[in-house]
Structure 1
């Protein structure tokens, strides 16, 4: 596995190599490289021309590669660079000026990204905010070195903490909230109540329950798998604990949306460990909320009570009255559900005992 930075570095080296030896024709080399697997050229319906065009494009690309290797063997790249820049000091100054221009443009882009993130938080557009953060951090920032972006760690902290605050802002007690309504805790936790995303049971011999069948029938599940694979690949190359706790939190949240509750709790606990490593109370709180949601969805009252107690401790560290009030209302909802569940169990047991006593008295009546 190659890191995104290494992939970008190799692509850049490939372009520089072509620019050095064939000047402006390097665009044609890139075009020929991509046209070899272009479905618009290699149509499956064209039986005869498909194989001919595939062979032709691969052959011509190999010829160009061999030609470039011959040029590089005759005059290596360092020699061409030396011929262009006979004065080493001028070459170093030119390189330093180019890096400074890239650094300045990167700084402008990062300031624009921060303004957009803060604006999306103010407008409470969480869906767009989370996708924008993932796009910026997963596709742009990971390709920047410390030379181009020396403030990278500070930018990571700013973005992920702003995202965490935006997540916390949505957890508020509604104005006309009632404890007695059905699934009050799940509604308070903003857990989706629809049944469309429930996990499908595998049936032996049924083709629709295979891996490919599920993806074709339910595209949401295939989308969640792609997201999880993306986050797992990013974890492998993540350096800082705050980035890892964000990625584990996103994996757990994706599992929760697909109603895979055990995987959600497993990744949420990993996110809590990474949040402790970077002393981030807010990400600990968000990961505990995912465990609370998974336990409440399974109606595990005791497990939900333990998770709520931990969340209350973290809320005390955050020193926010609204968050503490929210967790207190969640605890009250959970206790109300516990009382209702206990009463239903007692009513069922008393009904069962009365039925057994009636049957036993009927079976032991003396015969006349």
Structure 2
């Protein structure tokens, strides 16, 4: 009998994208690991409990390289190069080391004046009174501008780049995803070629002339940093503002206590989990995950969203609380593949939130929050738009 999809486990008429948490809670009540069907990808073991998730993320027997899958035939048609999410130590360690210094807390601190300048410029375009979509006007262009500037993507190309990356992470159709992958591959290959000729500045130009990266690895590195460097942060910024507006007491607390901006971002990472689940992992050998036997070649996915709402780790997990101890949330993963860009994402979200509340203090939903569209994919979940009323 085939495994059920998460949608099939939801009550009739329930919008899983808008609120997947009751389904996760029901699964978690029955056990930490379950067999589910992921449409378009096949069956896998889904880990939904915090301790089991944390252990699985650090288990070296679960590999990211798809060639450990029992059903592997090819890497698929939409891959752009070969990146860190598709490799394991020692290859993963080597690739990560080449860029890690650019995403340390110290490096990000040096970027803060630039982050604040970009945020202020965007805030100047928002109305003091009236309505606007916070995603399109603020949450999206801020991280796109920052990561493209860091890597050396020309300003004129940033909109179309986001269109391509958005199609890849939340595809509207297999054909559209394939076309976006081909277009982005061609674009990045040209950008890398310009970097090797000294015609591109920024991190990508540095990587293009550095030793230790094959052409395929360089293409994959550029793709991963560009896409992961902004898609998830868009969802983090908009999701944090949504959570605060949906919890007026917490918004009032933050207005009184701006020092809680950092904790607000951490609680949002736990509560909304923009990276909803990990990339698939594959068992290189038989193993147990909290009592469930996983066979060699089986596919495993860790639900970071479900794990971060485990009541055994976070009491009253469905309550948004800025004063909650969030240590141990899995919003950025755990283990060797813990998000390399976490310091940058945290800084961008904190700057965006602090300056938004300072320069546009009167905020409210411009539409019924129950009608907002949440978009989700195998990995990500976020708001398509967030119409707000200012003034």
Please give the TM-score of this superposition, normalised by the length of structure 2: 0.23
Q: Which of structures 1 and 2 has the larger relative contact order (alpha carbons within 8 angstroms, sep 6+)? A: 2
Q: Return the index of the structure with the highest Cα Rg.
A: 1
Please give the TM-score of this superposition, normalised by the length of structure 1: 0.24
Larger helix fraction of residues: 1
